[in-house]
């Protein structure tokens, strides 16, 4: 996915943006907008919260589990690899509903992360690596996923999952 496309997804979090997908018919409703401490307790609590809120939006149980899972993996990356557990750095966690979709943004204050530099976890020579599978699982569980560098040099991920038709 290109960064231009990613902007379209990010627009769900940026009122008035030229690519904004929200409008009078599909208003943006912010469900969560939090600055989290860079701890595993924050990860656990936010995973549970995301799952409960997704269920409340009408996602079936399996979808809510996948959303919670994706939130956990993205937050672990932000806390462990991005902010490196720093007490002086926060993780920005946003969940929004735009029309029939849930948008989630997670942003850290680390040094940035280039997914292109990561070893392909599905390559035979990497199958026994201990780490590097989180992003692949997020991609499998969510409808859309983008990752990019923030203006301040950290990492921002945005992911989206659509509600089942008729929800």
Partner 1 sequence: MSVKLTTRKVGDVTVIDATGRITLGEGSSTFRDTIKEMTVAGNKKILLNLADVTYIDSSGIGELVSGFTTVSNAGGNLKLLNLTKRIHDLLQITKLYTIFEVFDDEAKGLASFN
Answer whether 59's CB lies under 8 Å from 163's CB. Answer: yes
Per DSSP, helices labelled H in the chain are 3-10, 40-57, 61-76, 134-141
List the one residue out of 19, 22, 157 whose CA is nearest residue 76.
157
| 127 is an interface residue for partner 1 by CB under 8 A | yes
Per-residue binding string, partner 1, 31-60, x by CB under 8 A, is ---------x--x-----------------
- Interface with partner 1, residue 72, by CB under 8 A: yes
Instruction: Report d(CA 127, CA 114) in Å as an integer.
Output: 20
Q: With contacts defined by CB under 8 A, how many residues of the chain interact with partner 1?
A: 20
Tell which one of 16, 25, 130, 166 touches partner 1 (CB under 8 A): 130
121 binds partner 1 (CB under 8 A): yes
Our CA dihedral for 93, 97, 101, 102, rounded to 10 degrees, sits at 20
In the bound complex, what is the minimum distance in angstroms from residue 52's beta carbon to partner 1? 15
Hey, how many other C-beta atoms are within 10 angstroms of the C-beta on 87? 9
Complete DSSP assignment for 106-142: EE--SS---GGGS--TTSGGGTT-SS--HHHHHHHHS
Stretch that binds partner 1, among 5-13, 66-74, 106-114, 144-152 (CB under 8 A): 66-74
For the CB of residue 137, give the shortest distance to partner 1 in the complex, in Å: 6
Which of these ranges, 1-9, 14-22, 130-138, 150-158, lies near partner 1 under the rule CB under 8 A? 130-138
Closest to 93 in 3D by CA, of 82, 83, 107 = 107
Which of 15, 115, 140, 164 forms a contact with partner 1 (CB under 8 A)?
A: 140
With respect to partner 1, which residue has the nearer C-beta, 24 or 127?
Answer: 127
Q: Interface with partner 1 by CB under 8 A: which residues?
A: 40, 43, 65, 69, 72-73, 76, 80, 121-122, 127-131, 133-134, 136-137, 140
């Amino acid at each position: 996915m290109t960064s231009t496309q990613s902007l379209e997804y990010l627009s769900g979090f940026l009122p008035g943006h030229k690519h904004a997908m929200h409008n009078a018919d599909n208003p943006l409703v912010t469900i969560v907008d939090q600055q989290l401490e860079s701890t595993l307790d924050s990860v656990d609590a936010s995973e549970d919260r995301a799952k409960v809120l997704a269920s409340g939006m009408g996602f079936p149980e399996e979808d809510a589990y996948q959303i919670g899972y994706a939130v956990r993996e993205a937050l672990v990356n932000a806390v462990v690899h991005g902010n490196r557990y720093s007490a002086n750095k926060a993780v920005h966690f946003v969940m929004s509903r735009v029309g029939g979709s849930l948008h989630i943004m997670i942003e850290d204050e680390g040094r940035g992360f280039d997914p292109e530099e990561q070893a392909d976890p599905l390559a035979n020579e990497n199958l026994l690596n201990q780490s590097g599978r989180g992003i692949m699982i997020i991609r499998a569980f969510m409808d859309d996923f983008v990752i990019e560098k923030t203006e301040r040099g950290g990492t921002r991920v945005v992911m989206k999952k659509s509600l089942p038709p008729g929800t």
